[in-house]
Amino acid sequence: MKIIDKLAWIELKNNTILSTKSYGKDKYYIPGGKRETGETDEQALLREINEELSVTLDSQTLRYLGTFEAQAHGHAEGIIVRMTCYTAAYTGELEVSAEIEEMKWLHHSDKDKISEVDQLIFDHLKENGLLD
């Protein structure tokens, strides 16, 4: 079993969650990405979110939300994505950048538009009254 280790920023507004779609992809994903060699979760997440959405996360407000695992979308059976999720306040204006084509605020009912691991996260948020 191969594990793809990723980080995600959970940004909620009016019981919706910020999601992004990269160029050439068929699903929306919670913003974030992979660590570069030697990076901590905090360093990687701050870098990825700045690259993708042009905002700066406030590391003082970074809070662990949970870790979720599921089959990696678009990969061979048995390749698992492990998504470690954090919330954090940010400064700046949300604006797509780099490989991101579109950002959208999604509801729990939009689960058909997201990857398997994001579906687990959406369910967790709904169970906790954070997502409609």
pLDDT single digits (tens) 38-52: 999 999 999 999 999
Helix ranges, the chain (H):
41-53, 116-127
Domains of the chain by range and CATH? 2-128 (3.90.79.10)
Mean pLDDT, the chain, rounded, equals 95
Pairing mode, if any, of strands 100-106 and 56-57?
unpaired
Decide if 83 contacts 7 (C-beta within 8 A). yes
- Which strand (E) or helix (H) includes residue 44? helix 41-53
pLDDT at position 63 over 90: yes
- Which strand (E) or helix (H) includes residue 14? none
pTM of the model: 0.93
pLDDT at position 68 over 90: yes
The more confident residue out of 62 and 74 is 62
